[in-house]
Amino acid sequence: MSKVFLKVRVIYDAAKHNKIIKQSIKKYGYLPEHNFFHYIHSESSDSKNIFFDYGKNRGVLAQYHQKTNAWSIFPCGILARKPEITSLLLHAAIFILGKRKAKKLTVEVEEKTRKELLKKLKKQNELRACSCNYVLYWPVYNMKLWDPKLKGSKMKKLRNIRNRLYKKNRIRVKNSKDVPKEKLNDVLSAWLKSRNIPERVDKSYYINVINDRFNGFDIAKTAYINGKPSTITAGWKIPNSNSYYSAIGIADRSCHGLGEMANIDDLNRLKRKGFDYADFGGSGSALLRFKKKFNPERIYKTYIFSIVRR
């Protein structure tokens, strides 16, 4: 592997060294998944969090998957000045695939970073990028344009769904932190069984979040439908912005329109709280069709692919 001149400290106990990681996120975080507790909740028996500390609050959020001897960079998990992001990503890749002899490194990056990385990889002989495995679409909603009354022809279907649901049911929204864990796990189980969208779900992540009582989340709400907890929506303020990331959106499908109602309630709340934008998270084209119902101002993409040794 090529000689590299950046010094890195590899931290194998992310929870213990939380101050270093939190400081890095506080200074350089700017994307939805730049959240310390989100990183911690994503750890499982098969994926260990490992943080690359490059000094001056710069870092890389990584994970090691022991069963497959594969590594991954946490989604867009490079924390640095924007001109340094691609260089740090390449350095981490050389370290992981060279010194750690990983089978492969999976990354998820924005379009601009992907283009810059591909250019850098072409100029050296050690690593190569594989074809893109998956593209995620991230809808962003302008809160100034969001109308809680859902006026106009574009919002007619949503308006009808909301009105029908409230007319036929008793609906009460509570803080998810106040809902018993077993009830929230019931909502999660019902949602997982009802899903017909072919997208991978990390069940352990949701269980970790519920068991930790939504630690690290700024908002977590559950709608009770006729006395039964039926939804979970939760998220946080994106660092160094006035935007919000809706990280969790779950509905048990016990009645038609629950998902729409939960998202409408969330968007109304975010508007009242004065957020500028709401990011509803990355997904494939099937789930994107549902998210488009709420009329996003723009949609951006992230790319998931692997880097391997030549």
* Beta strand 70-79 pairing with 104-110: parallel
- Distance in angstroms (rounded) separating the CA atoms of residues 234 and 216: 10
Tens of pLDDT, residues 126-143: 999 999 999 999 999 999
Separation CA 1–CA 123 (nearest Å):
13
Q: DSSP labels for 219-281?
A: EEEEEEETTEE-EEEEEEEPTTSSEEEEEEEEE--SSTTHHHHHHHHHHHHHHHTT-SEEE--
Beta strand segments in 34-143, E? 48-55, 58-65, 70-79, 104-110, 127-129, 134-142
Residue 198: per-residue pLDDT: 59
3-state secondary structure of 194: helix
pLDDT at residue number 159? 97
- Radius of gyration (Cα) for the chain, nearest Å? 20
| Nearest-5° Cα angle at 284, 213 to 46 | 50
Q: Given this model, what pLDDT does residue 262 score? A: 97
Pairing of strands 228-229, 243-251: unpaired
Residue 129: which of 146, 139, 115 has the closest Cα?
Answer: 115
Residue 67 one-letter amino acid = K
Q: Given this model, what pLDDT does residue 2 score?
A: 41
Give one word for 185, left, alpha or beta, with left for phi > 0 and alpha for psi -120 to 50.
alpha
36-95 residue pLDDT tens: 999 999 999 889 999 999 999 999 999 999 999 999 999 999 999 999 999 999 999 999
d(CA 132, CA 35): 25
Residue 5's pLDDT is 52
DSSP labels, 128-151: EEPPP-EEEEEEEEETTT--TT--
Q: Which domains does the chain have, with CATH numbers?
A: 9-129 (3.40.630), 138-302 (3.40.630.30)
Judge whether 186 and 229 are in contact, CB under 8 Å: yes
Nearest CA to 221 out of 186, 199, 247 is that of 247
Helix orientation angle between 85-94 and 111-122, rounded to the nearest 10 degrees: 50
List, for the chain, all residue ranges whose pLDDT scores fall below the cut of 70: 1-5, 197-199
What secondary structure letter does DSSP report for 213? T
So what's the pLDDT on residue 1?
Answer: 42
pTM for the structure as a whole: 0.94
- By the 10 Å C-beta count (0-12 exposed, 13-18 middle, 19+ buried), 196 is classed as exposed
Reading phi first (left if > 0) and then psi (alpha if -120 to 50, else beta), residue 226 is in left
